[in-house]
Structure 1
């Protein structure tokens, strides 16, 4: 399937990173758009309660997404290392194990979310006006977890093989479908948050099915036959070894954001909606460094597999530079015109005012993640997922949450204080990662 593969172990690192990242950025923009479309369209056709329900519901579902991203990122890393070492049979077995185990995990997550949704929303102090809509949003989205996994897994596999272009097509289909369904279900049928959730899972399901059909008709390295969907013990062990720390890291990261959301919810409906809206904008601000860091992870994985660790280290430095330049734009925008950002989501005056305060401090994190994400991308690609997990737990749980309570409960700094939690956590993560890399620079990890 040469037309779907790309070696990242040779040639210009700048060219490899940029050519791989641009489709990745486009894909992530589209993915963010279909999530943001829910908020924009609900905000356009409903009220502040509707806006808050989708904002809170989205943050709850980010925990589920984080769990899935960890497992699928393991697929990217392992597929990348096997492909870099030219071990195609191992690539195929890894794909089969990933897809088979993912289907089982998805069903388990769906059942768990049906049980935990209401207790979780109660813990988060979801505003009474938004509670019923939020329950519907989370429940409906949870029923489509298998679709979320499926199309994320296929995209991650292709990226491990060096192909970042095809995922753009699949995500574009999901984005366009979601927007059309949002307008119909929310705008025409007045289904509010439930309509937005239904549009999301239907668009993901359609995208996943079309992706499988497309790849099945191409000369893909994995044949979509029932007999190939087997869980190989050795490959499953490697997927868990790499993916479990990544999943735990992502889950705890988003859990810490939920704590932040819970604090904002306790401040009032406007504050709740403002933090949710900023979270949506944050997704766009972090797209360049996030996309480049994923490209770096794939590049690092292939080069570690090909025994070229020095090329991976050089790529890390280049990716940080490119990411920082991109992130600077969003930081300046948030500092100079925070109200214009809130206005994009048709928020009312109270929400705009609250969001402006939050952005003034929180936006500092926009430039810090340019460094943090790429350090994690390099470490994950080289197989050091246990370290990134521990570092993520420390920065998310041991730093972000205590700082949040210190700033809001003890010092009474409100949303301005709450906004500082992200930058403080990122600085901690960056410093720990730099020290770790310097201490282990001669101990490159090859998982295979």
Structure 2
């Protein structure tokens, strides 16, 4: 049956493209929303119970965490594409090899980062110029978070691998588990309810750590209980030792993908610096607007990831006739969902902004003005992510990175500096649609030019791997449908 689930995964090479893509993307979108809501709720717990210094401490620590997750996101997307192409080619053994190498590499990397992060936390916070009054709290918080790093990063890597196999439902389930535990434990461990002592800010970090470990262990148990396609058994456990061929792809493709996230983050930091020059009122308005813009980005990120996995499966299956249609549906859904959210945001902007600024704040009108000028740029941003997602499905990552660097830093900053004398602060808000429009145009030209279709993301097997693959043809491990 077209699009049917296969041991927890979904065949994305068959059936109606529109419905398959939509139902594959929605769980990823829900996961993204859950993550953001979790961060917002945790910030409320910390801010309300522990005060501004503690909230500032978590903000400083979270910058470091974002950089770590950006790198792992890149490796995760590379493994997603490798797994998806192998699944599309009906080669579950290659999918497991790619998944095993990714998980094994992530474990080694996360252990190194965890130890180095614990030891280097003071230096990292000094580099960020953490305010002295928040330094001790930030150090405690960050060190506990680094202890939880292996579980957090492994969970991200495994969830992205599962999406490559066409399974977006399982990652959503365990994102719910993680978020639920984190939200419940935060006030318990911060305040010390019942027999549990109060840990303060360390309790907030410990809640996140506990949620990560419990979610990871539950995910592993579930994978074996349900016999998901990517679970490793017996001799397949050797796949956890990172193989040179897979690692070449992970590093050459994963690092540029991670850098895309870092470039976007760095651009945001530059924009905050420029906004700060406009005074406290504008900075407060921008901070509230950013909270809303975070949600406008989510359809683009979720649909881009879904399009990438679906296109990669079809590339692996040689179904190039479906890839262009996947792109079209991705663009259509992205514009529909993001466009609807923009209309709702602008229609109810005063009430939404009051959640962050208070109903009587004079910053609300400033924020409403910048919403009108900048919010619609996320339509361009989303379409750019769709084009990049499809090209990424065939291993093209350098050109998208160059486009982002050029538009986020070159175009945006040039427009700001040229327009500021006549436009004032409006040059900042208009730089969003200008930069996004240029990146969309360049991404569309790259896609239509078609050179990305000639790229190859093929890991050349060694002689030993070939022999093992031939032997596996008659064993359950070599089939797309798991044994049992």
Same fold (TM over 0.5): yes
**Aligned match of 2:433:** 423
Partner of 1:387: 399
Conserved in 2, the CA contact under 8 Å of 1:298 and 1:381? Answer: yes
| CA–CA separation in structure 2 for the residues paired with 1:24 and 1:233 | 30
Question: 1-side partners of 2:135 and 2:365: how far apart?
Answer: 23
1:118 to 121, 125, 130: 125
Q: Does 1:366 align with 2:370?
A: no
Aligned twin of 2:19:
15
Instruction: State how 1:282-321 maps to structure 2 within 5 Å.
Output: 282-321=293-332
Counterpart Cα distance in 2 of 1:445 and 1:26: 32
Mapped pair 1:222 → 2:231: yes
Residue 262 of structure 1 and its aligned partner are, at CA, apart by 3.9
Which residue does the alignment assign to 1:397? 409
Residues 396 and 132 of structure 1, relative CA distance in 2, 3 Å threshold? farther
Q: 1:28 to 1:431 in 2, by over 3 A?
A: same
Compute the TM-score of the two structures, normalised by the length of structure 1: 0.87
Question: Which one has a bigger Cα radius of gyration?
Answer: 2
CA distances 1:384-443 after superposition (whole Å, capped 9, x unpaired) = 1122222222223333455566677x77944x5443443333222111111111222683
Query: What residue in structure 2 maps to residue 254 of structure 1?
Result: 265
Cα deviation 1:237-263 (Å, max 9, x = unaligned)? 112222121012212221222223344
Equivalent residues of 2:394, 2:452 under 8 A apart: no
Matched-pair contact (CA < 8 Å) for 2:25–2:302:
yes
Instruction: Give, in angstroms, the shift of residue 323 of structure 1.
Output: 1.0
Does 1:239 find its partner at 2:250?
Answer: yes
1:62/1:413 CA distance change after superposition, 3 Å: farther
3-state SS of 2:453 partner: coil
Once the two structures are superposed, what CA deviation does each residue of 1:324-365 show, in whole Å capped at 9, x if it has no partner?
111123322333343322333475836656644543433233
Asked if the contact 1:43–1:346 (Cα under 8 Å) also holds between the matched residues in 2, the reply is no
Q: Please provide the CA RMSD for this pair.
A: 3.2
Aligned 8 A contact 1:260 1:404 in 2: no
**CA separation of 1:271/1:11 partners in 2, compared to 1, >3 Å: closer, same or farther?**
same
**Equivalent residues of 1:324, 1:370 under 8 A apart:** yes
For structure 2, the 5+ residue unaligned runs are 459-484
Give the TM-score normalised by the residue count of structure 2: 0.81
Q: Give the match for residue 147 of structure 1.
A: 151
Q: Please state if 1:208 is matched with 2:219.
A: no
Q: Structure 1 stretch 374-383 or stretch 197-206: which is displaced more?
A: 197-206
Q: Flag the 1:28–1:118 CA change in 2: closer, same or farther, 3 A.
A: same
Rounded Cα–Cα distance in structure 1 between residues aligned with 2:51 and 2:17:
48
Contact 1:127 1:269 in 2 (8 A): no
3-state DSSP class of the match of 2:295? helix
In structure 2, the residue matched to 1:182 is: 186
Does the alignment pair 1:62 with 2:66?
yes
Q: Give the Cα–Cα distance (whole angstroms) in 1 for the partners of residues 65 and 332 of structure 2.
A: 32
Q: Could you tell me which residue of structure 2 aligns to residue 440 of structure 1?
A: 450
Q: Find the aligned partners of 2:57 and 2:417 in 1 and give their Cα distance.
A: 24
How far apart, CA to CA, are the structure 2 residues paired with 1:227 and 1:391?
39
Shift of 1:275: 4.2
Distance 1:114 1:76, change over 3 A: same
Tell me which residue corresponds to 1:343.
Answer: 354
- How many residues matched? 443
What's the CA shift for 1:15?
A: 1.3
- Bigger mean CA deviation after superposition, 184-193 or 375-384: 184-193
Q: Secondary structure at the match of 2:85?
A: helix
Q: What is the SS of the residue equivalent to 2:232?
A: coil
Which shows bigger deviation, 393-402 or 351-360? 351-360
2:307–2:386: 8 Å Cα contact kept in structure 1? yes
